[in-house]
Amino acid sequence: AAGSFSFRRLLSSLSSHGLVAAAVDLPGQGLSPPPSAPPPRTNPLREIMDRGIFHAFEHLVETGEVPFQETAPEPSRSFYAASEAAAAVARAVDALGLAPVHLVLHDSALAAGAAFVSANPAAVQSVTLIDATATLPAFPAAVLGVPVLGRLVLRVPALFKGLMRLSCARGMDAEEADAHRAAMRGQGKGDAVFEAWKAMNHSFDLTEWRSSSEEVKRLPMMVLWSGSWSDMWIDEGKKVSKALPDAKFVYHYGGRWPQVSLFVSVCTCLPISFLGIA
């Protein structure tokens, strides 16, 4: 979920173990494009001014329909819903020809990854959670919706870096922070991050998902969790461990984004301890 910027070194290290590793940016995140703008809604008053009021009577007589009515927007699923993100992951896996995959879910990607697994159990060999949550993302995206402050965070490098260090990885350097800031400053990207945060599935239940089908139950699972970030985050890890009692649980000593400063430890733990690659 942190995207290709944070995972570039991790991917390189995993590749050295003979794995084909790919980081998928969820819809609207990282290098993934934001949704296209919806078509403009019809303005009845503007149509009357442009075409004349007598056109309305002619249209009514000819067709029996009342013209100049404002069209209501069609109901649609959120572009950022877990089901849409899962479909995007499925398309990426299919396009790359990677199935079956060892799926690694980080930060806010838990609900989307779980939806992908549920819809495509045969395409998954194992699931690893790296400080993954459905309700408590590391980056405080809510700040992007605050007038003035949201724009200020993305415009001032020092302010953005401080926020990243405070919420994601204490050891993040200026270059890494600026790469994330540049990605969020792209057209529509800041809004996309904020909308994705609003669309998070706060009702997602990890225990319920694990027992949702025999295929999901049988999947090997591993959890890598920060044991040094905060007491609250350690307690959150205990909840995950309780929800997944059969999963291999390993503490690390990095931040919420361990791939930033502990990528060597993370990539060593993944292939050797879990994937069975020496």
pTM of the model: 0.78
List the chain domain ranges: 4-32+80-277
The pLDDT of residue 3 is 46
Query: Of all helices (H) and strands (E), which one includes residue 250?
Result: strand 248-252
The pLDDT of residue 74 is 45
Contact at 8 Å (CB) between 6 and 257? yes
The pLDDT of residue 12 is 61
The pLDDT of residue 205 is 94
**CATH, domain 4-32+80-277, list 3.10.310.10, 3.90.1560.10, 3.40.50.1820, 3.65.10.10:** 3.40.50.1820
Alpha helices in the chain (DSSP H): 4-15, 44-51, 54-63, 82-96, 110-119, 149-155, 157-167, 174-184, 189-198, 206-210, 214-218, 231-243, 263-268
* Other CB atoms within 10 A of residue 186 CB: 13
The pLDDT of residue 186 is 84
Distance CA 169, CA 162 (A): 10
Cis peptide before 271 (omega within 30 of 0): no
The pLDDT of residue 67 is 46
Distance CA 91, CA 80 (A): 15
pLDDT in tens, 50-74: 565 555 555 545 554 544 444 544 4
The pLDDT of residue 215 is 94
**Amino acid at residue number 47:** E
* Other CB atoms within 10 A of residue 249 CB: 16
pLDDT in tens, 97-142: 888 998 989 998 999 999 999 999 999 999 999 999 888 899 999 9
- Structure tokens of 141? 């995206």
Distance CA 56, CA 68 (A): 7
- Tokens 């350690």 correspond to 234
Distances (CA, A) of 102 to 14, 23, 93, 273: 12, 12, 11, 13
Indicate left, alpha or beta for 64 from its phi (over 0: left) and psi (-120 to 50: alpha): left
The pLDDT of residue 80 is 84
Sequential pLDDT tens for the chain (278 residues):
344 455 665 666 566 666 777 888 877 777 777 776 555 555 555 555 556 555 555 554 555 454 444 454 444 457 888 888 899 899 989 998 888 998 989 998 999 999 999 999 999 999 999 999 888 899 999 999 998 999 999 999 999 999 999 999 998 899 989 988 998 888 888 888 888 888 888 889 999 999 999 999 999 999 999 998 999 999 999 999 999 999 999 998 888 998 776 665 565 566 544 555 44
CA dihedral (216, 267, 178, 163) positive or negative: positive
